[in-house]
């Protein structure tokens, strides 16, 4: 992040603010990514990100693009705060006498950050995916019912009504049936995605950001931090997209018509490769890049501005 050492509360607040701003801006793209990744070679509902968003607005309204956003907005604060603060923590403890970190140590710090964040990321993604993909499954069932009505000699078919569930209902059901482990379904796949992501992202950002520094003791301009965050984020996002596809498939509790189920990471990877081909592992890659790039670019700008430090300094003064 910034070269200036800031307190842990400030890091946590900065990470939370960055996450809230970023999620609000890019959540519809994230919804399109989830729906595109969950499509299998059965009844394909969407051909592209724009097609997905247009059909979502037509069938579910404008706010249909924000299904699951409440979960993200609630949990993204601790998730991003843990990720960014943990990276700074590990970088600080891996450095010796203020010396420059080697690439290996930068990667180790990123690894530690990615491992810590899954405590929040896994249940957040688990709940978000169910809410995001519900509209796709409902639309698919409606389409199948319409086709059945057309081909039926009687011309009659049952209407399909989507039964909307909330994150609270899903959480209660998972806890009742599977305990806390139900919320952590796909933990291994989440680690497989987030640890490599952090290993790529944090060292790449640090080195790109240094290119904008006039000297080691002077911070890079905020626009350099923003662009470095965007470039590093999109690069890391595309690099780990195959893991994200596997994680999304494993965490989906509901399946569309004629869609496969999976018993684990290897079974999921094998079935995708055999039935959909290697390009299926890149489904939603450009959506994910569009989501991650501004999200982490904004995170770096928030760190640069130091909003949290300003707030923490302001309130004690008012009390005095």
- CB neighbour list of residue 163: distance below 8 Å, 6 or more residues apart: none
At 80-116, the pLDDT tens digits run 778 878 888 898 888 876 678 888 888 999 999 999 9
- CB neighbour list of residue 161: distance below 8 Å, 6 or more residues apart: none
If you ran DSSP here, which 8-state letter would residue 98 be given? T
- CB neighbour list of residue 248: distance below 8 Å, 6 or more residues apart: 34, 37, 38, 129
For residues 287 and 132, what is the distance between their CA atoms, to the nearest angstrom? 14
pLDDT at position 144 = 72
At 132-147, the pLDDT tens digits run 998 888 877 777 777 6
pTM of the model: 0.82
- Enumerate domains of the chain plus CATH numbers: 8-39+47-142+165-314 (1.50.40.10)
3-state secondary structure of 273: helix
């Amino acid at each position: 992040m910034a070269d200036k050492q800031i307190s842990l509360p400030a890091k946590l607040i900065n990470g939370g603010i960055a996450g809230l701003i970023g999620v609000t801006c890019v959540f519809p793209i994230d919804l399109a990514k989830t729906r595109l990744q969950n499509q299998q070679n059965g009844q394909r509902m969407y051909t592209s990100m724009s097609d997905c968003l247009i059909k979502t607005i037509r069938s579910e309204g404008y706010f249909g693009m924000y299904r699951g956003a409440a979960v993200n907005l609630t949990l993204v604060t601790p998730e991003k705060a843990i990720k960014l603060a943990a990276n700074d923590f590990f970088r600080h403890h891996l450095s010796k006498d203020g010396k420059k970190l080697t690439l290996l140590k930068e990667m180790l710090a990123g690894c530690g950050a990615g491992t810590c964040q899954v405590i929040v990321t896994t249940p957040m993604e688990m709940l978000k995916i169910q809410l995001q993909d519900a509209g796709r499954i409902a639309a698919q069932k409606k389409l199948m019912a319409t086709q059945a009505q057309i081909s039926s000699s009687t011309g009659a078919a049952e209407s399909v009504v989507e039964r909307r569930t909330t994150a609270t209902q899903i959480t209660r059901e998972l806890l009742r049936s599977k305990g806390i482990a139900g919320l952590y379904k796909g933990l291994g796949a989440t680690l497989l995605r987030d640890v490599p992501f952090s290993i790529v992202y944090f060292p790449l950002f640090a080195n790109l950001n240094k290119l904008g520094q006039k000297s080691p003791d002077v911070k890079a301009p905020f626009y350099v931090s923003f662009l470095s965050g965007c470039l590093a984020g999109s690069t890391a996002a595309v690099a780990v997209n195959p893991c994200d596809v596997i994680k999304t498939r494993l965490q989906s509790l509901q399946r569309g018509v004629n869609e496969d189920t999976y018993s684990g990471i290897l079974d999921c990877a094998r079935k995708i490769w055999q039935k959909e081909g290697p390009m299926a592992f890149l489904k939603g890659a450009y959506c994910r890049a569009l989501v991650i790039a501004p999200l982490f670019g904004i995170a770096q700008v928030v760190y640069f501005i130091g909003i949290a430090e300003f707030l923490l300094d302001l309130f004690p003064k008012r009390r005095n």
